[in-house]
């Protein structure tokens, strides 16, 4: 078995601030994902990475940057936090072959004041 950890668990930021979320996995999975989950909406893909140093934009990449420096970690940066923004950011990983089975981390809950 393996585990995905996300830090921090809660993140409170100020409008315009640059915020970084981190994700680590020990499944030895090739592919990692960042999703945003808002109340009443499905998970929306922000960025994904097929392998170390690879980055692919998802449908919601505007306003975000990502970094995959090594196979086990995938970081997401909110480049300029929006006032009153409230969402959960979920990191996931999957083995070779794509997204049929994804394993999710516990999430980072963001609140922007």
Which residue ranges make up the site for another protein (CB under 8 A)?
A: 31, 35, 40-45, 48, 50, 56, 58, 90, 94, 97-107
CB of 79 to another protein, least distance (A): 22
DSSP single-letter state for residue 103:
E
Taking residue 104's Cβ as centre, other Cβ atoms within 10 Å add up to: 14
User: Which of 17/45 has CB closer to another protein?
Assistant: 45
Longest CA span, the chain? 40
User: Which of 7/80 has CB closer to another protein?
Assistant: 7
User: Which of 81/92 has CB closer to another protein?
Assistant: 92
Rounded distance, CA 91 to CA 113, Å? 23
């Amino acid at each position: 078995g393996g585990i995905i950890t996300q830090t921090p668990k809660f993140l409170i930021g100020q409008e315009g601030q640059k915020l970084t979320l981190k994700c680590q996995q020990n499944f030895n999975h090739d592919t990692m994902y960042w999703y945003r989950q808002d109340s009443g909406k499905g998970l929306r893909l922000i960025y994904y990475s097929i392998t170390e140093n690879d980055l692919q934009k998802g449908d919601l990449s505007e306003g975000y940057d990502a970094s995959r420096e090594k196979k086990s970690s995938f970081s997401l940066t909110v480049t300029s936090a929006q006032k009153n923004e409230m969402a959960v950011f979920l990191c996931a990983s999957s083995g070779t072959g794509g997204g049929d089975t994804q394993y999710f981390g516990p999430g980072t809950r963001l609140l922007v004041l």
